[in-house]
Amino acid sequence: MPKFLVLYASTHGQTEKIASRVGDVLGREGAEVVTEKADGDVETDPAGVDAVVVGASVHAGHHQRDVVDWAKAHAATLNGMPAAFFSVSLSAAEDTDESRQDNRKYLDDFAERTGWTPAETAVIAGALQYREYDFMTRLLMRLLMKHQHHPTDTSQDHEYTDWDQVEGFARRCADLPTIASRP
C-alpha cells in the first residue's frame, strides 16, 4: 500500500475541498493518505512517503507562499519521486486563449519559483466565495467579476469545480508510484 502525502494551501476553502476529494479517491484506490495544510509550521518531509500531491490556489497571479516555500525547500526530493501538482483558479473556469495562457503562466511561475517540475499537473476551476470574503475583497471581486461577466450576486457562492476532472486527476496520481517503478 503506497503512502501518499496530500499537501495544500487554501485561502478561502475551495482548494481544501479539492485536496480532501483527492485524498478520498487515493484512499479508495488503495493508498494510505496523509492530508496536510501548509501553514509555515513543521510539515511532513516528502522523503518519508512514496508519492506526493500538492495543491494551491492562485491569488493575484501567484500560488500561496507556504506551498511555494515548502516545495522549494524539498525540490530535490520532489523531482526524484512520483509527485503531482494541481493549481486552482478562476481562469481555469474559462475556455479562451487568454485563460489558457494564464493557466500555463501560473504553472510555469510555480515551477520557476520552486525548482520543482511535477510529473503530473492539473489546472482546476475553483469558486467565487463571496460569503467568505471580507468587505473589501467582496467589493473588488464583484467589480472584477462584473467586468468578466461572472455572477455578481454576493449573497451566495458560485462553484466552478469540475468534480469529475478532480476524480480523474486523483486516479492518475494513484498510478504514479506504479509508473515510476517500471523499468
Ligand X SMILES: Cc1cc2nc3c(=O)[nH]c(=O)nc-3n(C[C@H](O)[C@H](O)[C@H](O)COP(=O)(O)O)c2cc1C
Residue 11 engages ligand X in binding (rule: CB under 6 A) = yes
Q: How far is the CB of 178 from ligand X (least distance, A)?
A: 29
**Beta-strand runs (E) in the chain:** 3-8, 32-37, 51-59, 62-63, 83-89, 120-125, 127-128, 158-159
Residue 10 engages ligand X in binding (rule: CB under 6 A) = yes
Q: What CA–CA distance (Å, rounded) separates 81 from 102?
A: 27
Structure-block grid coordinates of residue 105 = 503562466
Which residues from 13-42 bind ligand X, rule CB under 6 A? 13-15
Q: What CA–CA distance (Å, rounded) separates 92 from 102?
A: 9
With contacts defined by CB under 6 A, name the span among 46-54, 67-75, 86-94, 113-121 that binds ligand X: 86-94
With beta carbons less than 8 A apart as the criterion, state whether 183 and 156 touch.
no
Choice from 60, 98, 136, 149 touching ligand X (CB under 6 A): 60
| Choice between 2 and 55, CB closer to ligand X | 55
Q: Which residues bind ligand X (CB under 6 A)?
A: 10-15, 57-61, 88-91, 126-129, 137, 141
